[in-house]
Copies of this chain bind each other. A is one copy, B any other.
Amino acid sequence: VERELVQWLERTLPPHPLLRLGIGDDAAILRWAGDGDVVVTTDAITDHVDFRLAAVSPEQIGHKALGVNLSDLAAMAAEPVAAVVSLVLPRRGALELAQGLYRGMLPLAEEFGVAIAGGDTNVWDGPLAISVTAIGRTTSRGALTRGGARPGDSVLVTGALGGSILGRHLAVEPRVREALLLHRQYELTAGMDISDGLALDASRLAAASHCGIALELDVMPISADAERLAQTSGRTPLAHALGDGEDFELLLTAPPDAAAAMAREQPLDVPITLIGQVVDQPGLWSLRAGGSGLAPLEPTGFQH
């Protein structure tokens, strides 16, 4: 539904003089003379889809609701400023639930300097849904978008991928500081956060940049969670790393020199790994280390 709706919206929504970037990236950008453009993103999470209220704490849910939105600001290399929170609460125990959700957001808001600026609270006979809208601003380097990758660029990823269902999907660590540091110190050409799976998200970044991406499967940083999950899932650790989603790591492209410098200098607290190249041929490809030819790679991931 979301993909079809986004395509319909891209055809249907009129342009607007203040809208520098609209639907289709991780966040929208509004022109705003002065302190930087306004970057805005919204993401809702719902019971039984993104978490199970019966199985996790309200604090964990609140953390995730804000975290996924800050991850979208990180994807744009925007500085977080504020968030507004819209709660739709089941009637029973609504106040305690709402307080738990906010308690989960507050430490993350404090860590990233985000003002919880407002909210709306609704009670109904349905399940829990939380929608957060995060507002950031671009730095003097401008925003990082999905559309700037060029053939010949290198592809990089932060952290290690796969198996987030074992816990990281709730304990989102938005890569805000990492994105801002890299965007300030190196030349980046495109970026996004990995929310639906590396393979699917890389294919989206490639499409937005009107080119292709070839991944070197032999060098993929695979998380210990993916290894652990593979022991029982019947899938390989690599398959988990490529397709699991909710890693909330950064997928970046950069000119080869800048990418090599990042990989060599390792300027972050998390690893940053060269995982492939931007190529002329549209689509997603695999590239054996040292090998030459490209083989088609399925864009596995979480389709909404």
A residues at B contact (CB < 8 Å)? 1-2, 4-6, 8-9, 12-14, 16, 18-19, 22-23, 27-28, 30, 32-35, 38, 40-49, 81-82, 84-89, 94-95, 98-99, 102, 106, 110, 113-127, 129, 131, 133, 135, 137, 304
Contact = CB atoms under 8 A, between A and B. Distances in A.
Given A14-B110, A81-B30, A102-B12, A135 B40 contact: yes
A1 B121 contact: yes
A16 B82 contact: yes
Tallying the copies of this chain within the complex gives 2
Contact of A94 (B1, B12, B35, B124): B1
Given A30-B115, A95-B5, A131 B86 contact: yes
Contacts of A135: 30, 38, 40, 135
Given A40-B133, A126-B126, 20 more contacts: A6-B121, A16-B117, A18-B82, A19-B115, A28-B118, A30-B117, A32-B35, A33-B34, A34-B34, A42-B84, A42-B120, A44-B88, A48-B124, A49-B122, A84-B133, A88-B88, A88-B129, A120-B131, A122-B129, A133-B133
Contact of A82 (B6, B40, B86, B304): B40
Given A8-B99, A110-B14, A126 B123 contact: no
